[in-house]
């Protein structure tokens, strides 16, 4: 390994020397460098939004940004070989364990020197989510969004529903909706990950943030009775959830809620992407109700942070870091959010006066939470969260909610135990 590294280093050094020669020959060309950016913003709206942010940064830095966009799901699936091959200088990624994992494998470079410049622009929680176990910063936050209960305001006004704050109020409202011929809570888990949001929020409400992160990190056991309590609470809520979740995509469930066939939907605010402009103005949301436990005051919530990482040997490290500094400014984040107003800016100096009421509320809910998690598949090791791991276990539970929970929990713990040490 060491030998190979040295060899690679010398190749890079020669490359740099050649590059330096050619730059000095051209002179002024040093001003407009090129930085490559690997992007998973493949859907229409976020793709246009990201381009707007890059255009803003290109003006600021004078560099040219070449974007290599890959379909969102495929980007994640291939991240491993992508990062080991010839990755772009900067790539889009997610905060938390999911970022630390690739840094720990040597597939990403630290950006602590960038953080020295941008630190004042972020709350400490963002810095924590961007810091690896060795203390280096490895990630630059761009925006985040909360997981909340979203509803169609027009329907609620028409029926006179009130926002529930406790579980009792929530189930009473759901029963009322059922009587009114609505599906109380839209639900979908065909892709395997959306139900993780429900697990997270119930676990944080019932067992608190510390137990939740401990469970994700493997220091708590899945066979713990506390986990049983989560599944039992979930089971009791399933009757007010839309049937047939395992055959439905979150997009379809979101459309049911937007069209007013379903009264509520617990999802990230990205559900708004399914609404057209007129419908989006009609959407409102509230935090998941409290369950009457000692952790109510914590108001724990999933508010995943999306952002950027630096690949392990960027061809243009200086340009890439300039880009990261720019993307860490409110101005760049505002440029993105102007096109895709379903998230809130991560930077403190972002101009919030242009926020829609939807965004203002999202920002308030995140600010009001005392314990912010990322999301199950961002807080634990990727092989555990994947298709044959937690995705399958949660689907198994939803398919047969009355099954023997002890056996299910034992098989989850078994699966964790068979994973190779990292």
Residues interacting with another protein, by CB under 8 A? 1, 4, 76-81, 84, 98, 101, 105-107, 183, 190-192, 242-248, 252, 256, 261, 381-383, 386-388, 391-392, 395-396, 399, 411, 414-415, 418-420, 422
CA dist 53 and 349 (Å) reads: 15
Residue written as tokens 């020959």?
25
Q: Which is nearer to another protein, 11 or 243 (CB)?
A: 243
Give min distance, CB of 252 to another protein, in A. Answer: 6
Alpha carbon of 161 to those of 17, 175, 358: distances in Å? Answer: 69, 12, 19
Give min distance, CB of 396 to another protein, in A. Answer: 7
Q: Which is nearer to another protein, 167 or 245 (CB)?
A: 245
Give min distance, CB of 420 to another protein, in A. Answer: 4
Neighbours of 97 (CB within 10 A): 21
Per DSSP, what are the bridge partners of residue 109?
310
Q: Which is nearer to another protein, 198 or 333 (CB)?
A: 198
Q: Which is nearer to another protein, 358 or 397 (CB)?
A: 397
Q: What distance, in Å, lies between the first and last C-alpha atoms of the chain? A: 18
Give min distance, CB of 130 to another protein, in A. Answer: 18
Q: Which is nearer to another protein, 273 or 383 (CB)?
A: 383
Q: Which is nearer to another protein, 120 or 422 (CB)?
A: 422
Helical pair 44-61 and 330-339, crossing angle rounded to 10 deg: 150
CA dist 225 and 233 (Å) reads: 12
CA dist 290 and 166 (Å) reads: 5
Q: Which is nearer to another protein, 251 or 293 (CB)?
A: 251
Give min distance, CB of 205 to another protein, in A. Answer: 26
Give min distance, CB of 159 to another protein, in A. Answer: 17
8-state DSSP, 290: B
Specify the 3-state DSSP secondary structure of 37: strand
Ramachandran quadrant class, 144 (left: phi over 0; alpha: psi -120 to 50; beta: rest): beta
Specify the 3-state DSSP secondary structure of 344: strand
**Dihedral (Cα; 255, 261, 263, 268), 10-degree rounding:** -10
Give min distance, CB of 261 to another protein, in A. Answer: 7
């Amino acid at each position: 390994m060491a030998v190979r590294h040295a060899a690679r280093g010398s190749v890079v050094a020669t490359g740099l020397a050649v590059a330096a020669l050619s730059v000095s020959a051209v002179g002024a060309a040093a001003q407009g460098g090129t930085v490559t950016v690997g992007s998973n913003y493949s859907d229409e709206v976020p793709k246009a939004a990201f381009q707007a942010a890059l255009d803003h940064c290109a003006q600021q830095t004078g560099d040219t940004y070449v974007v290599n966009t890959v379909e969102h799901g495929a980007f994640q699936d291939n991240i491993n070989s992508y990062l080991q091959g010839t990755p772009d200088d900067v790539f889009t990624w997610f905060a938390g364990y999911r970022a630390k994992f690739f840094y720990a494998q040597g597939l990403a470079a630290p950006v602590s020197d960038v953080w020295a410049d941008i630190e004042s622009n972020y709350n400490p929680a963002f810095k924590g989510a961007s810091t690896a176990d060795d203390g280096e910063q490895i990630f630059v936050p761009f925006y985040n969004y909360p997981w909340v209960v979203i509803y169609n305001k027009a329907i609620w006004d028409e029926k006179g529903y009130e926002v529930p704050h406790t579980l009792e109020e929530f189930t009473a409202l759901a029963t009322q909706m059922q009587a009114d011929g609505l599906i109380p809570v839209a639900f979908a888990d065909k892709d395997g990950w959306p139900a993780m949001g429900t697990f997270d929020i119930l676990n944080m409400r019932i067992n608190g943030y510390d137990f939740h992160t401990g469970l994700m990190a493997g220091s708590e056991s899945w066979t713990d009775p506390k986990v049983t309590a989560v599944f039992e609470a979930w089971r009791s809520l399933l009757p007010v959830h839309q049937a047939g979740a395992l055959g439905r995509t979150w997009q379809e469930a979101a459309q049911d809620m937007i069209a007013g066939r379903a009264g509520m939907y617990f999802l990230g605010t990205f559900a708004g992407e399914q609404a057209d402009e007129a419908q989006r103005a009609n959407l409102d949301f509230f935090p998941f109700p409290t369950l009457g436990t000692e952790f109510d005051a914590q108001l724990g919530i999933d508010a995943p942070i999306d952002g950027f990482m630096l690949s392990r040997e960027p061809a243009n490290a200086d340009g890439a870091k300039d880009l990261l500094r720019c993307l860490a400014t409110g101005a760049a984040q505002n440029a993105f959010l102007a096109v895709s107003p379903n998230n809130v800016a991560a930077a403190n100096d972002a101009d919030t006066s242009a926020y829609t009421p939807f965004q203002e509320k999202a920002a308030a809910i995140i600010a009001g939470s005392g314990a912010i998690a990322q999301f199950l598949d961002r807080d634990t090791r990727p092989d555990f969260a994947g298709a044959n791991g937690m995705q399958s276990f949660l689907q198994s539970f939803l398919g047969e909610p009355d099954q023997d929970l002890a056996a299910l929990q034992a098989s989850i713990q078994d699966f964790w135990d068979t994973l190779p040490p990292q």
